[in-house]
C-alpha cells in the first residue's frame, strides 16, 4: 500500500502488535550484534499495515518510552516519546510477555563476561525527567510493577558488582590524576558483614573530604526506574553533605553514568524512587 493511501484511523490491536513485534525483532538483532536494516523493516511494515513511515516511527518511539520504563535497552534513532497511550503499553506488555529470551539477552550482555577488568565509565549530565516518567499513568505503573526494573537490577548480583567495581576504578583514577594517590589507595568497596549499610564506597575529594557513594546499575537507559533501600534512604536524608548517588546505565553498550546529590529539603519522594 502506498504512502498516499495509508491509514489515518486509530490503531487496531493487530496493527500495534505488528509494529511492536517488529521493534522487538530489530532489538533482538541489535542485542545479538547482528546488523539491523530499519528502512527495510519499515518498508515491510508499511506494506503489511498500510501505515505511513512517520506514523510507524512515531509509534516505535512510544515503544522506546515503554521499554525505558521497564528498564530495557532501546533502539538508537528511536528516542522515547512520552505521551503514549494505554494501547501501546498493552501491546508492549503482550509482546514482552511472549519473548522472555529477549529480556534475558538484554539483562546479560556479553561485556559482563568478557573481561575481568573493571568496566570503563563515561560521565553524562543527569537527564531531564518527563512528567510521564516522574508520575507514570496507572497503566504504566502496572507495567513497571510487572517487570519490576528497580527490584530486578537490585537483585542481580553480577550487575551490581560490575557497577561497583567500575565506580571504584573511576574514583581511584580521578584521585591519582589529581596527585592524590594516597587517597586512591585508601578506597575500597564496602563489605556487608563489616561496614555500615547504606553505601557502596567511601571515597574522597582531592582535598581529603569524605564522600559516601551508592551505586545503581542497569542495562537499561538513563530513564530506567530505580529506588533506594531503607538504609540508603536514611543516609540520603541524614548526610546530604557527603552522600552521592552514581547512576550507571546502558551497560552492554556505552556504559555511562550521572551523579545525583540529595536535596536539602524535606520532600525526597521524587528522588528516592526515581522514574527518570
Please name each of the domains of the chain with its CATH number: 1-102 (no CATH), 155-274 (3.40.1350)
Q: pLDDT at residue 96 above 70?
A: yes
Give pLDDT, residue 8. 52
- What's the order of all strands across the beta sheet hosting 256-260? 122-123, 256-260, 243-249, 210-217, 201-204, 188-189
Query: What's the mean pLDDT when you consider all of the chain?
Result: 89
Share of the chain above pLDDT 70, in %: 92
Helices (H) and strands (E) in the chain, counts: 13, 8
- Quote the distance between the C-alpha of residue 241 and its chain's center: 26
Q: Is the pLDDT of residue 147 over 50?
A: yes
Is residue 144 scored above 80 in pLDDT?
Answer: yes
CA atoms of 235 and 240, how far apart (whole Å): 8
pLDDT digits (tens, 9 = 90+) for 203-260: 999 999 999 999 999 999 999 999 899 999 999 999 999 999 999 999 988 899 999 9
Higher pLDDT, 122 or 193: 122
Distance CA 222, CA 220 (A): 7
175-186 average pLDDT score: 96
pLDDT confidence of residue 3: 42
CB of 202 closer than 8 Å to CB of 187: yes
pLDDT for the residue numbered 9:
64
Burial class from Cβ neighbours inside 10 Å (0-12, 13-18, 19+) for residue 238 reads exposed
CA pair distance 275, 6, nearest whole angstrom: 36
Contact 252, 270 (CB under 8 A): no
Amino acid at each position: 500500500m502506498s504512502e498516499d493511501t495509508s491509514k489515518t484511523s486509530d490503531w487496531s490491536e493487530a496493527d500495534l502488535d505488528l509494529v511492536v513485534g517488529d521493534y522487538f525483532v530489530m532489538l533482538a538483532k541489535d542485542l545479538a550484534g547482528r546488523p539491523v536494516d530499519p528502512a527495510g523493516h519499515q518498508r515491510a511494515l508499511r506494506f503489511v499495515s498500510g501505515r505511513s513511515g512517520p506514523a510507524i516511527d512515531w509509534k516505535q518511539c512510544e515503544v522506546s518510552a515503554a521499554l525505558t520504563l521497564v528498564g530495557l535497552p532501546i533502539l538508537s534513532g528511536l528516542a522515547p516519546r512520552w505521551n503514549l497511550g494505554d494501547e501501546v503499553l498493552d501491546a508492549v506488555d503482550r509482546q514482552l510477555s511472549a519473548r522472555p529470551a529477549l529480556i534475558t539477552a538484554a539483562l546479560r550482555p556479553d561485556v559482563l563476561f568478557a573481561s575481568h577488568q573493571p568496566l570503563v565509565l563515561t560521565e553524562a549530565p543527569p537527564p531531564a525527567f518527563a512528567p510521564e516518567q516522574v508520575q507514570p499513568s496507572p497503566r504504566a505503573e502496572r507495567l513497571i510493577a510487572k517487570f519490576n526494573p528497580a527490584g530486578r537490577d537490585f537483585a542481580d548480583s553480577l550487575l551490581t558488582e560490575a557497577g561497583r567495581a567500575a565506580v571504584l576504578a573511576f574514583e581511584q583514577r580521578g584521585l591519582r590524576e589529581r596527585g592524590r594517590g594516597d587517597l586512591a589507595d585508601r578506597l575500597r568497596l564496602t563489605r556487608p558483614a563489616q561496614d555500615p549499610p547504606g553505601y557502596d564506597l567511601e571515597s574522597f575529594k582531592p582535598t581529603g573530604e569524605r564522600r559516601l557513594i551508592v551505586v545503581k546499575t542497569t542495562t537499561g537507559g538513563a530513564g530506567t526506574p530505580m529506588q533506594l533501600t531503607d538504609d540508603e534512604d536514611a543516609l540520603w536524608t541524614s548526610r546530604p553533605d557527603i552522600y552521592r548517588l552514581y547512576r550507571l546505565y546502558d551497560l552492554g553498550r556505552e556504559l555511562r553514568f550521572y551523579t545525583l546529590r540529595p536535596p536539602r529539603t524535606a520532600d525526597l519522594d521524587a528522588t528516592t524512587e526515581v522514574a527518570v
